[in-house]
Chain A
Amino acid sequence: MSEQQSNTQTVTPAADAAISEVLEKKELRSWKAAIALALFSVVSIILFVVFPRHGQTGFRWSGADDLITLPTWHVDAATTGTVVTILLVLLTALVVWVTLQTGRLAPRTRRLITTAAVIVFALAFMVAFLAWAMVGNNVPVTGLLLGTVSLSVPLIFGAMGGVISERVGVVNVAIEGQLLAGAFCSAMVASLTGSPWAGLVAAMVAGVLVSFVLAAFAIKYLVDQVIVGVVLNVLVTGLTSFLYSSVLTKDAETLNTAPRLSPVAIPGLSEIPVIGPVLFNQSALVYVMYVVVALVFLGLFKTRWGLRLRAVGEHPKAADTVGINVARTRFWNVSLAGAIAGLGGAYFTLVSVGSFQKEMVAGAGFIALAAVIFGRWDPIRATLAALLFGFASNLQNVLAAVGSPVPSEFMLMLPYLVTILAVAGLVGQSVGPAASGKPYIKG
Chain B
Amino acid sequence: MNPENEAEQPATRAERRRQEAEHAHEIEEAVVAALETEPVPSEAVSAPVGGAPVAAAAATATATKTAAPAEATPGEEEPASNRVLREIMNGPVVLSFLAVLIAFIIGGIMIALTNDEVQETAGYFFAQPGDFFGAVWTAVSGAYGSLFQGAVYNFGKDDFATGIRPLTDTLTYATPLIAAGLGVGLAFRVGLFNIGGRGQMLVAAAAAGWVGFSFPMPMWIHLPVAILAGLAAGAIWGGIVGFLKARTGAHEVILTIMLNYIAFYLISFMLRTPGLLQAPGSVNPKSPAILESAVLPLILGPNYKLHLGFIIVAVATAGVWWLLNRSSTGFRFRAVGTNPNAALVAGVNVKNTYVWAMALAGGLVGLAGVMQILGTTPDGMTSGIDAGIGFDAITVALLGRSRPWGIFAAGILFGAFKAGGFAMQASEGVSVDIVGVVQSLIVLFIAAPPLIRAIFFIPAPDGKLTRRPLRRNSKAVSA
**Are A and B interaction partners?**
yes
User: Chain A, interface size: which category?
Assistant: 35 or more
> Which positions 166-196 of chain A face chain B at CB distance < 8 Å?
none
- The answer to whether B192 and A424 touch across the interface, beta carbons within 8 angstroms, is no
- The answer to whether B401 and A1 touch across the interface, beta carbons within 8 angstroms, is yes
20 contacts between A and B (CB under 8 A): A1-B401, A4-B188, A16-B340, A19-B341, A223-B448, A223-B478, A231-B440, A232-B440, A235-B436, A235-B437, A235-B441, A235-B444, A238-B436, A239-B437, A242-B433, A245-B433, A373-B253, A420-B244, A420-B262, A423-B250
- The answer to whether B344 and A7 touch across the interface, beta carbons within 8 angstroms, is no
- The answer to whether B3 and A419 touch across the interface, beta carbons within 8 angstroms, is no
Residue in contact with B262 in the complex, picked from A7, A23, A413, CB distance below 8 Å? A413
Is B114 an interface residue when CB atoms closer than 8 A count as contact?
A: yes
- The answer to whether A231 and B398 touch across the interface, beta carbons within 8 angstroms, is yes
Please indicate the chain B residues that have their CB under 8 angstroms from the CB of A407 in the complex: 269, 273
- The answer to whether A18 and B440 touch across the interface, beta carbons within 8 angstroms, is no
CA of A412 to CA of B447 in the docked complex: distance in angstroms?
38
B195 to chain A: closest residue by CB:
A366
Please indicate the chain B residues that have their CB under 8 angstroms from the CB of A423 in the complex: 248, 250-251, 254-255, 258
Is B290 an interface residue when CB atoms closer than 8 A count as contact?
A: no
CA of A239 to CA of B109 in the docked complex: distance in angstroms?
13
Residue in contact with B265 in the complex, picked from A6, A228, A409, CB distance below 8 Å? A409
- Total of A-B residue pairs, C-beta within 8 Å: 223
- The answer to whether B444 and A7 touch across the interface, beta carbons within 8 angstroms, is no
CA of A32 to CA of B450 in the docked complex: distance in angstroms?
47
Is A101 an interface residue when CB atoms closer than 8 A count as contact?
A: no
Is A374 an interface residue when CB atoms closer than 8 A count as contact?
A: yes
- The answer to whether A409 and B193 touch across the interface, beta carbons within 8 angstroms, is no
With both chains docked as a complex, state the minimum distance between the C-beta of B321 and any C-beta of chain A, in angstroms: 14
Q: Give the one of A32, A242, A363, A423 with max B CB within 10 A.
A: A242
Q: Report which B residues bind A (CB closer than 8 A).
A: 1-3, 6-7, 110, 114, 188-193, 195, 244-245, 247-251, 253-255, 257-259, 261-262, 265-266, 268-269, 273, 334, 337-341, 344, 350-351, 391, 394-395, 398, 401-402, 430-431, 433-441, 443-444, 447-448, 450-451, 470-471, 474-479
- The answer to whether B479 and A420 touch across the interface, beta carbons within 8 angstroms, is no
CA of A357 to CA of B338 in the docked complex: distance in angstroms?
41
> Which positions 357-374 of chain A face chain B at CB distance < 8 Å?
363, 366-367, 369-370, 373-374
Please indicate the chain B residues that have their CB under 8 angstroms from the CB of A425 in the complex: 248
- The answer to whether B269 and A241 touch across the interface, beta carbons within 8 angstroms, is no
With both chains docked as a complex, state the minimum distance between the C-beta of A167 and any C-beta of chain B, in angstroms: 16
- The answer to whether B474 and A15 touch across the interface, beta carbons within 8 angstroms, is no
B477 to chain A: closest residue by CB:
A222
With both chains docked as a complex, state the minimum distance between the C-beta of B98 and any C-beta of chain A, in angstroms: 15
- The answer to whether B250 and A6 touch across the interface, beta carbons within 8 angstroms, is no
With A242-B110, A246-B431, A443-B471 in contact, do A226 and B193 touch (Cβ < 8 Å)? yes
Binds B, one of A303-311, A312-320, A426-434: A426-434
Please indicate the chain B residues that have their CB under 8 angstroms from the CB of A430 in the complex: 249-251
- The answer to whether A231 and B248 touch across the interface, beta carbons within 8 angstroms, is no
> Which positions 1-43 of chain A face chain B at CB distance < 8 Å?
1-11, 13, 15-20, 22-23, 32
Please indicate the chain B residues that have their CB under 8 angstroms from the CB of A3 in the complex: 189, 334, 337-338
CA of A413 to CA of B269 in the docked complex: distance in angstroms?
10
Is A127 an interface residue when CB atoms closer than 8 A count as contact?
A: no
CA of A223 to CA of B261 in the docked complex: distance in angstroms?
30
Please indicate the chain A residues that have their CB under 8 angstroms from the CB of B6 in the complex: 1-2
- The answer to whether B265 and A242 touch across the interface, beta carbons within 8 angstroms, is no
Minimum-distance CB pairs A-B, first 3? A238-B436, A10-B191, A7-B337
CA of A15 to CA of B394 in the docked complex: distance in angstroms?
22
- The answer to whether A373 and B254 touch across the interface, beta carbons within 8 angstroms, is yes
Please indicate the chain B residues that have their CB under 8 angstroms from the CB of A373 in the complex: 251, 253-254
- The answer to whether B254 and A7 touch across the interface, beta carbons within 8 angstroms, is no
Please indicate the chain A residues that have their CB under 8 angstroms from the CB of B477 in the complex: 221-223
CA of A237 to CA of B438 in the docked complex: distance in angstroms?
12
Please indicate the chain A residues that have their CB under 8 angstroms from the CB of B261 in the complex: 412-413, 416
Please indicate the chain A residues that have their CB under 8 angstroms from the CB of B114 in the complex: 242-243, 246-247
Is A439 an interface residue when CB atoms closer than 8 A count as contact?
A: yes
Please indicate the chain A residues that have their CB under 8 angstroms from the CB of B247 in the complex: 424
- The answer to whether A424 and B250 touch across the interface, beta carbons within 8 angstroms, is yes
Known interface pairs A227-B447, A242-B431; 10 further A-B residue pairs with C-beta atoms within 8 A, sorted by A's residue number = A1-B479, A10-B337, A23-B351, A222-B474, A222-B477, A237-B436, A238-B438, A370-B258, A420-B258, A428-B249
With A16-B340, A227-B447, A234-B439 in contact, do A428 and B248 touch (Cβ < 8 Å)? yes
With both chains docked as a complex, state the minimum distance between the C-beta of A186 and any C-beta of chain B, in angstroms: 20
With A7-B191, A16-B249 in contact, do A235 and B440 touch (Cβ < 8 Å)? yes
With both chains docked as a complex, state the minimum distance between the C-beta of B326 and any C-beta of chain A, in angstroms: 15
- The answer to whether B447 and A32 touch across the interface, beta carbons within 8 angstroms, is no
- The answer to whether B254 and A5 touch across the interface, beta carbons within 8 angstroms, is no
CA of A410 to CA of B195 in the docked complex: distance in angstroms?
22
Please indicate the chain A residues that have their CB under 8 angstroms from the CB of B351 in the complex: 23
- The answer to whether A2 and B7 touch across the interface, beta carbons within 8 angstroms, is yes
